[in-house]
Structure 1
């Protein structure tokens, strides 16, 4: 009885101590004064960019992304679109070509995943298309995205200030579909508003999140392409950047709209890959992050932030829940101790979930209030899905447990939400 209470208190104290800095992030995002030169002025140079889009059987959505790129408030001659039709069995390649994209078709069933597709594209660009230096920078996108008309212009302002990697504001095309899409959407909005935004304001490292980011061709050249092939290649790239001292910036005015999985099966598969990928990254880079934190003091904040991104919240939470569940199981095995142990274990488990729910509800509420105009759905649904947001996060618990032991491979997610930027902005 004393052990369970003490253990729960210990876990709560450790998590509070480790993640207190994110409370500071929230305060900075709400009341902090933004830098005076917050990239509102026009860039001195209009740089040349290429959009690199890995697409596998994306015939239903690829055209709208390319069209949103072609309609940018930026000189068209300075933007190319390169689509990697990766192991496609549909007409993605034909649709991309008909919309003016350069298409690179790839067929490799052994090296599967976005990271390998990107590496293939950069190697082709370097060897056959004039070298990676042909472009000043590369936008990395998923085929289901669409972008605001001023996306490139706003990203170029930050790029022109010297940031060699920049991420953007990630919104959702289908926030209002169900509790899952709303859960994803709210989490990404929270990440933009209360993580990357204060990171940028405090002049520390931001993190890229799968899609919607820009990186300098100099980085591609130095790396010899794209060399990040773990299941979460985006967080791997962010962590390596923090270790190397490569500053990742954030552009809040560059808005992309992303499609979220609508079925629990697809969501389970995607988040299983993410969870497994986080474990892979943790086991591979945690030591380097800790070493860099103490050997390169100027990188301490960035490396600590990335370390907390991959560990230890999930493992500590799982351990806490398992300890309390073990107490309940013990009651079944040893009925004689039920009167003493069961109420304690049950109360501790309930207390854990209630506190987690309350905290997540508050995070969701704060995000909805600050990002109200950006969320594309009715006011009723905004509040309705606020109550299911903690439940969405809770479903990570079984996913994270299974991911510890199961072999996970990359699987494509079907995209069917066909919307234009004009439709999104009309809501």
Structure 2
């Protein structure tokens, strides 16, 4: 009977089983993260001292939104004399610099069409601050995007994390415009899931978190040690995270520091942004993947798992899906062209494609449902839209498949995304209070 069973197993079956096994081995630990979050709460911190901070904002043609971000920094429940705001007006062709100055920021215009990208702009800003404002004694630098808005207690909560010894920390990333459409909702759920079921679990387990674009601080000691911001890949945030872990630094997370971020609402903008992210992740994997793999065995024991976790974060896991679908599609195409006549393998390929895509959709639907219900009070929308967007979230995530595939072969050029949404953060305060008490 075994001989008969194995006689029906083809190399297609073996290949698909290996892909499924690799995916399972690599990412099952994230299900444990869910268990940790649902059964344990992060430790509450208390600050003994208020520290001196600089908020650094890289902005390109962001006159419509940057004023509100600066205002949200100026009205923090934190001593205003301990926060200075710096804006790098990066290759702007509008009045971003003027709006930022009027709102109370110190502005550095930058014009450089060769070194393009947020990483280069941040490096320029840090170097100017270090040379011209060194006497102000900044202990840490906060990095924000111009479209962000901060909860009034943001700096107070992040100060607790810094005061307790963190050299870097990310924060809780919520969205201004969850209910704009299915695209913005897809982003919002993804970032909420990242905050709750990745970074909060990492915090609880005392391993390193990962910085995600905006809403984080870095100790001035790290900036000084590196001579500025030396991370210039397309996803400089992930590059910084990978490099920090390799150097034995632990990135923390502050779940009570809430930041609101504007999400794209058109598929074109979403494609351009996520294409850049996908390309950037490939870059980070290429530059840091081997060192992280080595670090799993050779780094000090306290950071070995962090190396593994970061490797899985930057590893092109989506490629496993792409490879499986592409491989099986080739088998079907060869059969259709008459170059292969093995009906069993064709049937296996068809079923494997369906199984792969269906599994991905089901997995994403489960995460979307879980995130939505756990973070229900933090999602600012109607009940109907919250339920509706749980069902569209898997389709939003499915669009990552062609994006990741194109990013393998196409060159990426930075393309601006227009931001225009302003919100009254006070409208969100009550729901955030409910979230913190939960």
Q: Distance in 2 between matches of 1:203 and 1:344?
A: 43
> What's the counterpart of residue 145 of structure 1?
148
Q: Select 1:167's aligned residue among 159, 166, 170.
A: 170
Change (3 A) 1:211 1:34: closer
> What's the counterpart of residue 53 of structure 1?
57
> What's the counterpart of residue 89 of structure 1?
93
Q: Could you tell me whether the CA contact under 8 Å between 2:282 and 2:316 is conserved in 1?
A: no
Q: Distance in 2 between matches of 1:195 and 1:61?
A: 29
Q: Select 2:215's aligned residue among 212, 215, 220.
A: 212
Q: Distance in 2 between matches of 1:67 and 1:203?
A: 34
Q: Could you tell me whether the CA contact under 8 Å between 1:318 and 1:401 is conserved in 2?
A: yes
> What's the counterpart of residue 14 of structure 2?
6
**CA deviation profile, 1:50-95 (whole Å, cap 9, x unmatched):** 1100000001000110111111000111111101111111111101
Residue correspondences, number:
422
> What's the counterpart of residue 180 of structure 2?
177
> What's the counterpart of residue 225 of structure 1?
228
* Consecutive unaligned residues in structure 2, runs of 5 or more: 1-8, 432-438
Q: Distance in 2 between matches of 1:24 and 1:368?
A: 19
> What's the counterpart of residue 371 of structure 1?
375
SS of the residue corresponding to residue 373 of structure 2 reads helix
SS of the residue corresponding to residue 215 of structure 1 reads strand
> What's the counterpart of residue 25 of structure 1?
33
Q: Distance in 2 between matches of 1:34 and 1:213?
A: 18
Please, what TM-score do these two structures have when normalized by structure 1? 0.96
> What's the counterpart of residue 245 of structure 1?
248
Q: Could you tell me whether the CA contact under 8 Å between 1:272 and 1:400 is conserved in 2?
A: yes
Deviation at 1:5, TM superposition (A): 2.4
Deviation at 1:146, TM superposition (A): 0.1
Q: Distance in 1 between matches of 2:105 and 2:340?
A: 71
Asked if 1:421 is matched to 2:425, the reply is yes
SS of the residue corresponding to residue 178 of structure 2 reads coil
Map 1:384-423; keep pairs closer than 5 Å.
384-423=388-427
Q: Could you tell me whether the CA contact under 8 Å between 1:173 and 1:424 is conserved in 2?
A: no
> What's the counterpart of residue 434 of structure 2?
none
Please, what TM-score do these two structures have when normalized by structure 2? 0.93
> What's the counterpart of residue 264 of structure 1?
267
SS of the residue corresponding to residue 337 of structure 1 reads coil
> What's the counterpart of residue 293 of structure 1?
296
Range 416-425 or range 375-384, more displaced = 416-425
Q: Distance in 2 between matches of 1:81 and 1:51?
A: 5
SS of the residue corresponding to residue 180 of structure 2 reads coil
Q: Distance in 2 between matches of 1:198 and 1:339?
A: 46
Deviation at 1:422, TM superposition (A): 2.3
* Consecutive unaligned residues in structure 1, runs of 5 or more: none
**CA deviation profile, 1:213-253 (whole Å, cap 9, x unmatched):** 01111111111000000000000000001000111100000
Range 259-268 or range 325-334, more displaced = 325-334
**CA deviation profile, 1:352-400 (whole Å, cap 9, x unmatched):** 1111111111111110111000011111111111111111111111111
SS of the residue corresponding to residue 107 of structure 2 reads strand
